[in-house]
Amino acid sequence: MVQASDLPRNEDGIAAVIGVLKQRFGEKFQTGQSIREQHGHTTTWIKNQAPDAVVYPQNTDEVAEIVKTCAAHKVPVIGFGTGTSLEGHVNAPAGGICVDMMEMNQILAVHSEDLDCVVQPGVTREQLNTYLRDQGLFFPIDPGANASLGGMTATRASGTNAVRYGTMKDNVLALEVVTPQGEVIRTASRAKKSSAGYDLTRLMVGAEGTLGLITEITLKLQGIPEAMSSARVSFDSVDAACQAVMMTIQYGIPVARIELLDSLTVQAVNAYSKLDLPVAPLLLLEFHGSETSTAEQAELFGGIAEEFGGTGFEWTSSAEERNKLWQARHDAYWASCALRPEARGISTDVCVPISRLAECVTAAQEKLDALGFIAPIVGHVGDGNFHTLPLVDMDDPDEVSKADEFVGWLNDLAISMGGTCTGEHGIGQGKRPYLKKELGGAVDMMVAIKTAIDPDNIMNPGKILPSE
């Protein structure tokens, strides 16, 4: 099991910062144990390491003031959105102050003519899309949880739409960031492209709060397509389903979503979301465009699916049916956990080049069967990214050790295939052992960047980079 190790604490500094911030922020500064624990890691098997206090700033100036106070005493600062990250990202292994962005949740501007908007980091993806709907716009990145846009930016998140619209790295135009010294910088303008110097926006996207706190995000938006349709088709094996995905992508069909659910996930989703999908490996798709182009895409895909033995191909443009299917897909994590309620679901997140996808998913499934796990598999397979979810009895050391062995084996396999140990969840604490294996000497450059920007290592210490 991944043990999040504790780091040395700066007791005097922490006490001094608590004294200053408590007086300054009053009710907006909390030190109660349950609030602190809620702001440590809560989602997986990584142990909870609570911060010493949680503060709720209202604006950028307050964030800068908090960071300056922490910097003066060399005390850790940990950004917090909705706490749905999966690799111990929000833990406080050296203690410190959690900066919860929940109350910085204003949509500051929508420039519909430019297809962009400016939001505070506590805005959630659902909040933004509800706000945009009447203007015929949407923001496409949709992790399974209703995460904050600050957290999504900091983890370089993606979701089911990434195959068509990209990930957070493709959809953030600019950021306002509070540096580890408490200065406020802007990384770019609203221009759709720029060659102006180092790309600090992209450096901050995915930095998991280790280089600064994000206080404003400028995002690209999309027009709601004239027509959307969804489709589903079942296969005899995950291998056949993945082969069909590979052909679809290589053929250049501009699918908006193409998601794999293995038989076990279909069974779980049927029970949880009251559906009656055939219990077999399933591909769920969505097409965006005009009436004609979505019909054409569906027809082309239907032909490919048939070639790989796909059965029961159905497509619909009914919004109600489409929403029902995609809601079920978004609830697949909870549906899967319900297969063994007393166990913990441990989500893996490998991503491989599309040509190796079928091989990688099939090998993972065989290994999970051999280890005797109940382990549903879902995948954003158009990008070569999939999640296995072994359901692990945390009171059984043998099971825990087998799960650990599996996670390591799968990460190594993906890396050996030219892939990555994390397509979208990030490194946090849990995946740190794999970063060097994946990127070798590039990690030394990351360490150099971190040391230059945050020499006292106060920004979310103990994350991403190797502990030495």
Per CB under 6 A, residues contacting ligand FAD are 43, 78-86, 89-90, 101, 121, 143-145, 147-148, 150-152, 154-155, 157-159, 208-209, 213-214, 333, 424-425, 460
Q: Specify the residue, 52 or 208, whose C-beta has the smaller distance to ligand FAD.
A: 208
Q: What's the closest the beta carbon of residue 424 comes to ligand FAD, in angstroms? A: 3
If the CB atoms of residues 80 and 308 are measured against ligand FAD, the closer one turns out to be: 80
Measured from the CB of residue 136, what is the shortest distance to ligand FAD in angstroms? 25
Nearest distance from C-beta of residue 332 to ligand FAD, angstroms:
8
Residue 224 beta carbon to ligand FAD: minimum distance, rounded to whole angstroms = 21
State in angstroms the smallest separation of the CB of 449 from ligand FAD.
Answer: 16
Q: Are 281 and 238 in contact (CB under 8 A)?
A: yes
The Cα–Cα gap between 438 and 427 comes to 12
* Residue 452 to residue 372: CA distance in whole angstroms: 47
Q: Which is nearer to ligand FAD, 281 or 461 (CB)?
A: 461
- Rounded distance, CA 225 to CA 293, Å? 11
Q: How far is Cα 236 from Cα 363, in angstroms, rounded to an integer? A: 16
Please state, as a whole number, how many other Cβ atoms lie within 10 Å of the Cβ of residue 316: 14
* Cβ closest to ligand FAD, residue 82 vs residue 348: 82
Residue nearest to ligand FAD (CB): 151
For ligand FAD, the closer of residues 243 and 336 by Cβ is 336
Give the C-alpha separation, 386 to 400, whole Å.
21
CA distance linking residue 322 with residue 185, whole number of Å: 42
d(C-alpha 119, C-alpha 128), whole Å: 9
Per 3-state DSSP, the chain is made up of helix, strand and coil in percentages (nearest 5) of: 40, 20, 40
- CA pair distance 138, 219, nearest whole angstrom: 11
Instruction: Name the strand (E) or helix (H) holding 170.
Output: helix 168-171
Least Å distance between CB 335 and ligand FAD? 10
Residues 186, 261: Cα–Cα separation, whole Å? 41
Nearer to ligand FAD, 101 or 242 (CB): 101
Encoding tokens for residue 300? 């082309």
User: CB 333 → ligand FAD: shortest distance, Å?
Assistant: 4
Closer residue to ligand FAD, CB minimum distance, 101 or 364: 101
